[in-house]
Each structure stands twice: as structure tokens, then as C-alpha cells.
Structure 1
Amino acid sequence: MTAMDSEFADLLPLFVAEARDRLVTLAALTARLAHEPGAVVELRRELHTLKGASRMLSLTAIATLCHAAEELLQGGSPPGALLTRVVDALAAMVDEVAAGNEPQDDAGLLAELAPGRPAEPPAAVSADTAAVTATTTPAASTSTPAPARSATDEALDEAADHALALRIRARGMARFATRLEELAALAERGVNDAGPAQVLAVLIASLRREALALARSQRALAWAADAELDALLALQMQPLRPFFLSLARHARTLARELGKEVEVAVAGEATTLDRRIVTQLEEAVLHVVRNAVDHGIEPPAERQAAGKPRGGTVRLEAAPCGSRVRLTIADDGAGIDSEAVVLAAVERGLLPKDAHPTPEEALQLLLRPGFSTRTAVSPISGRGVGLDVVAAVANRLGGELSLTSRRGYGTTVTLEVPAARRGERIFLARVGPVRFGIPAAAVQRLEPLAAAHIQRQNGRCVAVREGETLPFLPLAETFGLEPAARQMLLIGSSAGEPLAVAVDSVEGEEEVLVRPTSVLGDGAGVVDGLAILASGEPVAVLSPRALAPGTQRRVERLAMPPPARRRLRVLLVEDSFVTREMERRLLEDAGFEVVGAASAPEALEALAQTSVDCVVTDIEMPEMDGLEFTRRLRADPAWAVLPVVVVSTRSRREDRLAALQAGADAYFVKQGLDALELVAMVRRLCGR
């Protein structure tokens, strides 16, 4: 089967775009090779990555030429003119793919590249040897350390988190010192009431001195922690200019592939954002940009017929909003057909036939997992990824997504996220035996709950307070717990939606560092993450947006199905976008949730932010290869037993053994990859 006939033929335009980017890099590296011999390492890696993507798409001629050039580079630096011919030949082959033709081998060039060299060992292997499972203890690592920049970034992240935790603990000490002072004062009053007691009075005086000393120490500690934290967080901030330039380049490239005319307007690129937040947003925002170009902007002829300019506009804008940053991705395209959204929802059984949601409620359906009005897969915007994923990313970061659209005029997606990872103030609320955290920013006031406050209107429960009618949510009922006889009402709002939540009691307010988690199963939809209190106790922090009985919940009342069992989450580490997208499809089609990473450092950062059940990784990657990445995982107690599956173009026995010795649990070769074998292995390693 040729690449043009394969099930991944729709990925060929993406391959062409990525390959052309890599060819630009190859040309630049070839020019550097004469005066910078070290460039040969980068050349080999770029060729290896292009070879892997070509093999996955059965583009044998490109893969063969890449392999021949890669083998030649193993022996040192070949003549620059020969490498230039290789780059030109690869560019011609990529042009053939873009034209819908199957590229052919350049026999003459192959002969010049590898005279007398043995052919590459066959990459395709039999099913019984396609995967090798480790049965021995991983060998110790003796490789060189990761690049300094990566190590510095990791140390900076860790230091910032430690500084924030230190500040939170210091404030906990302050509360303890205050309680000691109050206790000393209370004891002193008791002594005075009871009459002279000299010994006890001395002890009380000593206690007061210790409390004052503790308070002074705490203030000094808190000041130092605040200063350190502010300095570290300042280093974490970066302007959005490089991110926006990358998005603009992607948008223009995709527009050319689709035959559309698109101008990208950028504003607010000097706005700064925590680089860790930028990293987590990259894939989600790129998906929104793809949607704008692919789904939103119409072809030139269609725009002219509608009285619009031939060229469409995609606008990328960033603006600071207090301690948050608002990112806007807007297009002046066709907009979203809300009637088509409702019709698709009815056809899928998500809405009853007699449902009549408002246009705003219809748009919220697009945030349902996997929901789409498209009947065919788009080669640009991908498959299995939707606005629900983008909204989930924003929610995990403590942010929000809003969507507006006007038919014929365009669509605007707005993401509002924290500017930096800082401590968050939460109310500690108790429901039955369980304590939850509720972000203080979402709560405006607290008051006792009386039965008279709760009424039923239009088939739903509401809380009526001071002439205001608020959607009402009893947390005990939500989590299947028994409510107390007397309860408290937390009144506030989230994303512009009113909020009234009933809890048994509110036990105080505390500053915490909220960390995302996936170990909460079905509850993860209403939980932002876990936090460690100053006392050391863990507490789940609820998501106000998910709890708010607002627009999204009104749509859900129109007969939404119950949440499904939590899917296994796989971290997919692959520097080639096309290869990563292909492997993502294979895994998502099998029911896995996939978190993508373009490099090992990015994968380590993702692991620090979210829990996964398995890792699938390439070997040849920039900054840190897959073997060193696997050793890092095995050396960390938190990930020592995390299943790791290697998928590589390397098919030699020594490559397999090296991966298993590094700590991998299984090894697959990309060419001839059996999707069923890979899926079965991942499930087996995850215990399902």
C-alpha cells in the first residue's frame, strides 16, 4: 500500500509542512558544517526524525535517502556539496508528495552516498518479535547529563515551588504563633482570677516570650520567602512574542496548504506569561488556530460571493487582566452554525428531539468531549481533539474558556489563565466526613442556609437571597454524601455565572499551591487538583466553573449521559509532529487519553503537572534522547514503576537491548508498526 492510499493519507499535507520546515533546518546546518563540525549531530537527528515520519507514512524513497545520508554522517563530515544535493533531492521528493505523487528513489545519489555500504537491516519484524518485554532490572545510567539549559529550567521550577511552599508554611507558623499568644493571655487571666501562683506566672511569661520570638522568626522567614519567590517567578516570566510568531507561522503554512488567503494580526505580544503555563497551552492554542484556518476562514471565492474580502483574518491577542492574562483567538470566517450543532447533538442522542437550547447553550455543546459537527476528518485540525480538550487545559491551569460566534461574521475563543503559578486562597469546606477546598476568588459571601432559602422554579432548585435567584448546588448530593442538619451557603460566581453551593461547614481560609491530578477518577471533572495544607493534610480543590449550575449544566439537564469510566492516560513523547499525530490517533482510537510532548524535557514537565498511566517515547530527540529520558524516570521514585514503551525507527538488536537496559518495558519498531500489538501492550502494562 502506498502513502497515498493509506489510512493516514489525510496527514500528508501536515507531513509536507513539517518536512519543509526540517529541510530549511537541514540546509542551514549543512552551511554551518564547514566551520562547525559539531553540527553533524544535529544533522543526523533531523534526518533521523524525517526518516521516522516518512516510514510511518510509507514514503519509502524519502526514508531510504534519509537513512543513507544518516549513515554517511556516522563516519564524520562528508562534503558539503554532497549534502546540499541530498537536501535538494529531499525537497524534490517532498514536492512530489505535495502534488499527490509517490516519490521515487534517486539511485545515482544513493550510490554516491553509500558505496559498498551494507543495506539497512529490515525494519519490519514478525509479530512475535515486534515487542520485547523487559524481565531484568534496569541497568544504571552512565550517559552524559542533560543539557545545562534543561537542568537549569528544572531546578528553577523546583526552586519556585519550594519557595511558594515555604511561604505557605511560614504563614501557617504565623497563625500558630498567634494562637500561642492568645493561649498565654488566656492562661494569664486565669491565674489572676485564681490568685497568686508564682511558678505558673513564670511559665506563662516564658510562654509569651517564646511566642513573640516565634512570631518574629516567622515574619523574617515570610519576608525572605516572599523575596525569593518574587525573584524566581520573575525569571519564569516570558513575553508571548515567540509563541505568537510560531502560531502565526503555522496559520500561514496551513492556509497555503488549504489554498486560502489568511492574514494573521498580532497584538499584545509583549505581554508576559509564566513559561510553564505557555508550554501547557501550546498544543491547545495551536488547535484553536488550526480550527480558525480550517473550519472558520472560507475559501477566497466563497468569501467574495458573501461580499467579504478574498483574504480572511485570524487575530491573536494577549492582554493582562490583573493577576491573569487573557488570550484571544478570533477569525472573521463563517462562524458556527448553532442549528447544525443542535441537529448533530440530537442525532447523537445528546439532546431530546424537542430540545430548544439558546444559541449560547448550543455553543456550550462544543465543549462536550469528542463533539463535532464535521462528518469527515480534517487533515489539518486533526481527529479526537476538540474544544473540550482546550477548555480542560484552561481549567487545569485555574483558567477559563469562553466561546462566542456569529454566523457569517466569525468566531472568538477567549482563554483567561493565571499569569504565573502562585499560591491560591481557598475556603476549607466540610461535607460529611470529607474536606474540600473552594477557591476564595469564586466566593463573595457566606451565610447560614435555611430551608426557606431553597425553592423549586421551572423544575430546578434555586436559592433565593435578598431578592436574587441563584442556581443551587448541594455538594453532599453531588458527591453522594449525607448532609448535616445545619448547613452553610457559599454565594459567588464563576465565569459570569451565579453560584450558590451548600456545604456542612466552612472551617477557615488558607493559601495553597494547587497541583493538577488525574487520580480522582470520575471526580476529576469537578476537581481542579490537589493541595497540601500547612498542616500537611491533602485536600481536593473543586473547580467553580465545573460546579456552577450555569450554561454548561443547563445544557446537561437536557438529557446528557453520565460520565464514562476514566480512560487510561498515555504520555506520548515524539519530536516529529506528524509521527506524534499518527501515534496519537492509534492510541485515541483505542480509547486512551493522550498527552503529547515534543521533547523529553517537555515530557518531564508534563509529568510534574499531571498523572499518567504509561509513557510511549521515541529515542532520537533533541535536548535529551529517549534512553536518557527513561533512565531519568527510573531514577525518580515517583516514576520508577511507570510503564515505558519505546517506539523507534531503530530495529537492531543492540538498540532494543539498550532500551531495555535503560528501563523500558517494551520496544516497537515504527515501520510496520502493528497498532493492535501496541495497544494490547499498553493495556497489559497498565493492568487492564
Structure 2
Amino acid sequence: MNSELSDLLPVFLAEASGRLERLHTLLPRLEEDPESRREAQRELHTLKGAGRMLKLPSLAQLCHELEELVQKTPPGWLASLQRGLDQLASALNQLGKEGQEAPTSGQEAAAPASAPDHVRLSSRDLNTLADRATRIRILARGARVFHQRLRELARLAQEGLHEEDPKQLLAVVVTTLRRLALELELGQTRLQRLAEAHLDHAVSLQMQPLGPFLQNLARHARELARELGKDVQVLLRGEDVRLDRRITKELEEALIHLVRNAVDHGLEPAAERAAAGKPTSGTLTLEATTSGPRVRLVVTDDGRGIDAAKVVEKAIARGLTTKEEAQGLSPEAAFRFLFLSGFSTREEAGAVSGRGIGMDAVAAACARVGGEVEITSTPGRGTRVTLTLPVAQRGEEVLIVKVGELKLLYPKSAVKRFHLLPAQNVVERSSHTFARLGDRLRPFISTHRLFAQPIPAVQVLLEGEAAGVEVAVAVDAVLGEEEVVVRDQTHSQAFPSRFFSGAAVTASGEPMPLISPLALQQARVAPTAKAAPSKPVRKSLKVLLVDDSFVTREMERRLLADAGFSVLVAGDAQEALTILAENPVDCLITDIEMPGMDGLDLTRHVRSLPQLAHLPVIVVSTRDRPEDRLAGLAAGADAYLAKQGLDATELVALVRRLGGRG
């Protein structure tokens, strides 16, 4: 197997295990039920395609032979199929143990390969989770007893109002209340301890080593370097460091962007490096380290570096600071301007990426998971971007703030200081609002204006940082603080959703939106952004990729994303039609063999719709006979490629040519 695709092996094994299990389920029905035979062929066909994409020729050939067996049904085919499935299970088991393809003949049958631990939970983990959840439920239901006893006390107290001398009754009520309070406190303590243990265990199941993730980034870097004609050495450190997989997933695009920036704009071509007295081969280092409850992901290049003076010059030009204020800025403080939307020291955007363009998205991704980002750089020596992240996602500490008639949530981590801000200390200047704090003017965001609420005589200024970007926000008041679970969803239709990063339900049961400090900061600087001169901009083509195999789909998605395309994915034709109805795309890439409507029927359906009749369609299939290609083109496909030996350059060029023709 190609070492650069090895990170997909656990995913392939999990998918293959599921398909093998389905084939065993279908086995008793194959002789009598044609539909079951067709489904078995699809499962084997999909597994064959994924095997070929992962450069596992022996396994792919075995799947092909079994597929032919089901299709032709020669005498004794069921017994042969059973032996073949056992042989396939043995091959998968060997692949899972050693990471290398095993011969697929002459081996004894083995049990199907078990799914990787990070994909499926062990029965022990499931039992532990179920046991703790049951105990939590029992403790929670025990609260009903307290409710009944409290109601009884309330009844006794009510009756005591009619007693001539209620002192004795009141003494009983007080004693009972004290006993109940103690029992309730002990019960709450047990419940909290059990809930914490339950959460710790659940979070531990989300932890994964960063090795596959870092290897994937390294592959991106090497492929981009080859495309740009640069010689780049990629070093990986800390592959055994573990991080919550939800955080890894949230940061994937941000890290890919940082790698692209480093290779495209940070690292110089060989001639330029030689002229500067550097080795002609550039070095990109991807490093993960742990420090208590935090993980640091660091992307370092030994390239051109960033000129802090140019960053400050651009910030002054955009009205983000003054010459006087800029004199006291450290390089690290100057680099924080790079995290603002659209900020860049480059006059032209590159075709692949742009230093600064998109760094706001990196900061936003860090903020969403409760992390921070910092840039250090020296011109001529290189750049270092450090992401400091929590090891795992738990509840988020938030402030409940009041803005006019609204109650909103604000990240507590983004607040370092509070200030009372009377109206006489608010200064309007150059379409921006400033707070006079002693002898300095502090720019801030008025949430009242953003949400169309009346401004009070005295506001509360929340001053701090979000993902390394300084932010100051004014609200009416801070009502309290809580720990909540934030969901990524739009909370209200009444306000612009871009100002919210999610929503949460408070302890009182009231849903509230969570303000995104970075989004507010970008709204503040947006009015001063100067219009760029009109220049032709290379369009980022949007591609819809349809394939029922996750492994194949993910490999093709990476290939297309690496080429700069925006990629939507669908697991079947029906999902693809739903996406097409809601999203304009420039090109459709589809497999043929899929459950339900196949790729050819999908192509015909697309061609029958007036709004999609001219949408470029590329078929990528394991079927590579001449009659298969003719069938694809007859269905309306613009091009037909075979998965085996798929040429990435050819596919990318084809998408650019067909997708850009409109």
C-alpha cells in the first residue's frame, strides 16, 4: 500500500468489515433471491473499487472473482463463495494486524477483521457507559422522594398556621428540612461524581493519536510542493500525542490552510533559497506536544517569513490602528491583524492560497473549540504558527449577558477585564466607536447597534482576546455565568446568524445563542476595508462527488480538495439530487454501482432536468470495458474514467476544463 494513504487503512478496514458482515447476512438468500444477488454484487464491487484505490491489487482481484461468481452462478458457486468470503476475512485480518496486504490464496479461513478501536467501541466500554448511565438515572429518580417529602412538609407547615402554638410543629419542620438538605447535598455530590466519571470515560473514547492526521497534512504538503515544483522536506513530531477527534475534525481545514500557506508562500523556490544562502530544500515541521490539559499544534517553515512592519503599515491604512499606537506594537501583536477577515500584506491573491487570506477562518476554528492561535515570524528565516487547544471538548464556560431585551451567551475565555462605560466616555471617530479608558482610547463593538437594541446610559465593556485577536464588546450587564454544552446551530431567525457560533440551553432550560467575538470583531473592521482594484480572480470550482464507498469518496475528495476545489459529497444518488436541488455546483463526479439509483440513472435524471441539463458529469468507475464507457457516455456523461490507475492530474485537469466552461 502507498504509505501516504495508510491513514485511510483503519477507515477501509471498518468499511470492509461492515460490508463483509452484510455479505454473510445475504448468503442464505442468494440462491433464491435475485435482488439479494444484485446487492451482494454491489457490495463486492464497491469493496473492489476501494481496494484498487488503496493499491491493494490482490484483495481487489479476489473481490472481482467473487463478484463474477455471484453474477454467473456456476455449479457449486455458493460453497465457493463461502470459501472466498472466509479467504477475504483472513486477508482483512492480516491487513489489520500488519498493515500489509496478505496473499489471498492458500490460507485458512479466519474471523472477519475486527474494526479499529477508534471506530467501534468494545463491549467493555459499552457496558461501563451503560452501567454509569443507569446509576445516574437511579440517582436522578431518587429526587422524586425529596419532592414528596418537601410537599409533605409544606402541608404540615400549612396546617401549623391554624395551631394556637405552632412552635413544636415548626421545630419538626426545621429539623426535617435540615436533614433533607444534608441528604440532598450528599445525593448531589454522588450524582456529580458519577456524572464526571461518566463524562471522563466518554471523552476518553473520543481521544485519538494525531499520527494519521499529521501524516495526512504531510501528504498534502508534499503533493502541493510537487505541483509547485518545490523541494520540501516534511518533518513530523509528536505523532503519539492524543487529541479529541471532534477537535481534530473541526481544525482539519484550518491546518490544511496553514500547510498550504507555508508551502505556497512561505517556502521559497530553490533558486531564491540558494541566493539567500539557504539549503535549496525547504523544511516544513508539523509538531504536536502536550502541556497539562492543553495540546499544542505547531506549523513551522524555514521560508521567507512575514514582515511585521508591512503588517502594521497595512493595518494603519485600513484604520485598524494609528501611527502613534503602532509604535508600541510588538511583532507578535502586529501579527494579530492577520486574523482579521480579508487582511493580507499581499497585493495579489495566489492561485493556491494567500498568506493572511483565510487566517480569520483559522482563528475562528480555534475559537470554536476553545483554543488560541499565535504567529511568530522573522523575515528571511521563517514562520511559526502555534495552535493551543484543549485536549478534549467538554462544557464551555460562558457569561450570560443582557443586550436590550435580549439574553445572550458570551465566551468567558474571551474576557480578561470588565469596565463600566458611562455615555460620556464613548467616543465616535471615523465611523468607529471607542471607549475612553484612562488616557487611552479602546475600539469596541456595540452589540446594541448590531442587534438594534437601545443603548443604556452605562454599559459594561468586556475586554479580552479570542483566538489571539483582541476584542472589546459592550453589553448592558452581566447576569451570571454557567457551564453549557454548545451546539453548532443558528439560534434565532431575528438576528444575523454570522454573529453567533452556536446555541446552548442554560440550567434554567432557556435556549440562548452564543456570541462569536471574532465575528463581532470582523463586523467592526468591515466598514473600513478598502475596495480592491478589479482584477480577474480564479474561480474556486464547486464539485459534487457521489460514491457509496466512504474510502473511495474520501480519497477522491482529498485529491479534489488538494487541487483547490470546493467539494460536496453524497453517499448515494438520492442524496446527490437533494444536494443539487439546494446547491449550485460546477461539476458532478459519480460512481456507477450504488444502492438504489445507480450512477448512470443519476446522469440520465440530471440531463432530464432543465436547470441541470448542461451540468458537466464525469463518471469514475471500476468498470472499464469499452461497452461500459459507451454506456456512460450514452447516459449523458461528458467523460468516463476508470478507478484503477486513476490519474490525479487527468481528473483535476478534466474538472477544471469542464467545470470552467460555463
TM-score for both structures, normalised by structure 2: 0.58
Show the counterpart of 1:219: 189
Structure 1 residues 630 and 541: alpha-carbon distance in aligned structure 2, compared to 1, 3 A threshold: same
Residue 638 of structure 2 aligns with an amino acid whose one-letter code is G
Residue 314 of structure 1 aligns with an amino acid whose one-letter code is L
Structure 1 residues 572 and 325: alpha-carbon distance in aligned structure 2, compared to 1, 3 A threshold: farther
8 Å contact 1:530–1:540 — kept in the other structure? yes
Q: Does 1:474 align with 2:467?
A: no
Show the counterpart of 2:120: 152
How many aligned positions are there? Answer: 503
Q: How does 1:18-167 map to 2 (within 5 A)?
A: 42-47=47-52, 74-75=67-68, 152=120
* Larger-gyration structure (1/2): 2
Matching residue within 239, 247, 256 for 1:286:
256
Show the counterpart of 2:293: 323
Show the counterpart of 2:414: 442
Structure 1 residues 411 and 153: alpha-carbon distance in aligned structure 2, compared to 1, 3 A threshold: farther
Larger deviation, residues 537-546 vs 309-318: 537-546
Residues 604-655 of structure 1 deviation map (CA, whole Å, 9 limit, x = unaligned):
xxxxxxxxxxxx534xxxxxx547x959x99xxxx9x999999523289952
User: C-alpha displacement at 1:512, in angstroms?
Assistant: 0.4
CA–CA distance in 1 between the matches of 2:526 and 2:227? 38
Structure 1 residues 405 and 547: alpha-carbon distance in aligned structure 2, compared to 1, 3 A threshold: same
Show the counterpart of 2:361: 389
Structure 1 residues 70 and 369: alpha-carbon distance in aligned structure 2, compared to 1, 3 A threshold: farther
8 Å contact 1:334–1:409 — kept in the other structure? yes
Residue 152 of structure 1 aligns with an amino acid whose one-letter code is R
Show the counterpart of 2:569: 617
User: C-alpha displacement at 1:331, in angstroms?
Assistant: 0.8
Matching residue within 273, 279, 284 for 1:309:
279
User: C-alpha displacement at 1:71, in angstroms?
Assistant: 7.1
Structure 1 residues 223 and 642: alpha-carbon distance in aligned structure 2, compared to 1, 3 A threshold: farther
User: C-alpha displacement at 1:534, in angstroms?
Assistant: 1.7
Could you say what secondary structure the match of 1:514 adopts? coil
CA–CA distance in 2 between the matches of 1:399 and 1:151? 26
| Unmatched runs of 5 consecutive residues or more in structure 1 | 1-16, 51-66, 79-145, 562-568, 589-593, 597-615, 619-624, 680-688
Structure 1 residues 518 and 70: alpha-carbon distance in aligned structure 2, compared to 1, 3 A threshold: farther
Residues 322-367 of structure 1 deviation map (CA, whole Å, 9 limit, x = unaligned):
5332211111112346798899999xxx959x99896876873575
| Unmatched runs of 5 consecutive residues or more in structure 2 | 24-42, 72-113, 532-541, 619-636, 640-653
Percent of aligned pairs with the same amino acid? 36
Q: Does 1:411 align with 2:379?
A: no
Query: Comparing both chains, which one has the higher relative contact order based on Cα–Cα distances under 8 Å and sequence gaps of 6 or more?
Result: 1
Q: Does 1:400 align with 2:372?
A: yes
Residues 84-118 of structure 1 deviation map (CA, whole Å, 9 limit, x = unaligned):
xxxxxxxxxxxxxxxxxxxxxxxxxxxxxxxxxxx
User: C-alpha displacement at 1:398, in angstroms?
Assistant: 2.9
8 Å contact 1:239–1:273 — kept in the other structure? yes
8 Å contact 1:470–1:499 — kept in the other structure? no
Show the counterpart of 1:542: 515
Structure 1 residues 333 and 382: alpha-carbon distance in aligned structure 2, compared to 1, 3 A threshold: closer
Could you say what secondary structure the match of 2:304 adopts? coil
Matching residue within 623, 628, 650 for 2:592:
650
Structure 1 residues 402 and 345: alpha-carbon distance in aligned structure 2, compared to 1, 3 A threshold: same
8 Å contact 1:492–1:498 — kept in the other structure? yes
Could you say what secondary structure the match of 1:226 adopts? helix
Structure 1 residues 307 and 451: alpha-carbon distance in aligned structure 2, compared to 1, 3 A threshold: same
TM-score for both structures, normalised by structure 1: 0.56
8 Å contact 1:487–1:503 — kept in the other structure? yes
CA–CA distance in 1 between the matches of 2:502 and 2:224? 36
Structure 1 residues 581 and 274: alpha-carbon distance in aligned structure 2, compared to 1, 3 A threshold: closer
8 Å contact 1:265–1:314 — kept in the other structure? yes
Q: How does 1:589-600 map to 2 (within 5 A)?
A: none
CA–CA distance in 2 between the matches of 1:577 and 1:268? 25
Q: How does 1:394-543 map to 2 (within 5 A)?
A: 394-446=366-418, 448-451=420-423, 453-455=425-427, 461-465=433-437, 470-495=442-467, 499-518=471-490, 523-543=496-516
User: C-alpha displacement at 1:491, in angstroms?
Assistant: 4.3
CA–CA distance in 2 between the matches of 1:467 and 1:154? 62
User: C-alpha displacement at 1:533, in angstroms?
Assistant: 1.0
Structure 1 residues 272 and 308: alpha-carbon distance in aligned structure 2, compared to 1, 3 A threshold: same
Q: How does 1:562-577 map to 2 (within 5 A)?
A: 575-576=552-553
Q: How does 1:652-671 map to 2 (within 5 A)?
A: 655=598, 669-670=617-618, 671=637
Q: How does 1:361-372 map to 2 (within 5 A)?
A: 364=337, 367-368=340-341
Residues 405-454 of structure 1 deviation map (CA, whole Å, 9 limit, x = unaligned):
44322222222332211111111111111111122223345464434554
Could you say what secondary structure the match of 2:120 adopts? helix
Q: What is the RMSD of the two structures over their aligned residues, measured on CA atoms?
A: 6.1
Residue 534 of structure 1 aligns with an amino acid whose one-letter code is A
CA–CA distance in 2 between the matches of 1:196 and 1:448? 53
